Chain A
């Protein structure tokens, strides 16, 4: 039972944490909850479809279909997270200062929210399809342990959602003055980490070269299966043995978004 709880927890954690961060970062945008619900709902539906098509997807692109599919999802997610951060650098301050009264911010906020709903749908779809496959395997397996395994899975899912909720409430407590700095930093590292994962998948499918592999090995210092290693992997894309190409993807994404945020920041004296 605990085995299946841990697996489902791990699979749902990434999506739950992403939703927690996005929900916190969009605090105060009109219709946020509706957009979040649309994203999660569409993602769950998509996850079931993708889980059913696993074999078909895997066989596409001469066996690299799974890698291409997931890399494309990560690529879109990186674009949306980057766009979100740059958008926030422009509008975050005015939103914090004047809340909802600005018609322009509300209108462009809706565009922003619909983009984020797509992002959340993709994250739920990616992690959810693996969870669905795993749970399906349990349900189809031998009957004796089925109930305890499935309830373990539900427990894991609840724990994942709980972790997302804890992160959200924690972020919501941060004073408004530092709030956008914290959420933007979190999202910046998340996006860079996703870009690194995208590179790993493309290498695994032999679609790009690894360059140096591995570029370094810090697995004796901070192993991937340690608590801290795992946490840093989820939040900041930490890898104990990354290839050179992964590091390159990571660094480029990090720098491009960071410069985008710097340049788009309105150059007006601060009101506070």
Chain B
């Protein structure tokens, strides 16, 4: 419908870390498109966003915010976790 607009702007999705947990824990993104993932950490302690499936790894400082580009992804599930608190900080990106 708006081909120009879709070319110009990155698709954005937001993840929040609080009490060493990701919200939402399941994040839906469109398949086949590059997505700008904004991760903000509301905890005072640092975290490391990591996903073998997405082939991504990035530090997020305490009370900090980072941008991580992912994809374009084939349809499927891509688990991610926070390396510094991997028991509680878990989630999955669903590309469809």
Contacts and interface: CB of A to CB of B under 8 A. Distances in A.
A58 B71 CA distance: 21
A198 to B, nearest CB: 13
A225 B83 CA distance: 12
Given A55-B64, A224-B52, A225-B52, A133 B69 contact: no
A175 B87 CA distance: 46
A114 interface: no
Nearest to B83: A7
Interface residues of A, number: 34
Contacts of B58: 66-67, 204
Contacts of B14: none
A239 B55 contact: yes
B46 interface: yes
B45 A58 contact: no
Interface of A is mostly: helix
A63 B86 CA distance: 24
A74 to B, nearest CB: 13
Interface string A202-213: 011110000001
Nearest to A229: B52
Interface string B23-36: 00000000000101
Q: Which of B46, B57, B60, B62 has the most CB of A within 10 A?
A: B46
Contact of A58 (B44, B53, B61, B69): B61
Contact of A203 (B65, B69, B87): B69
B91 to A, nearest CB: 17
Interface in B45-96: 45-46, 48, 52-53, 55-62, 64-69, 71-72, 83-84, 86-87
Contact of A130 (B52, B56, B59, B86): B59
Interface of B: 34, 36, 44-46, 48, 52-53, 55-62, 64-69, 71-72, 83-84, 86-87
17 contacts: A7-B83, A54-B46, A54-B59, A55-B64, A58-B60, A58-B64, A133-B59, A134-B46, A136-B46, A137-B62, A137-B84, A138-B45, A141-B45, A204-B69, A205-B67, A219-B52, A225-B52
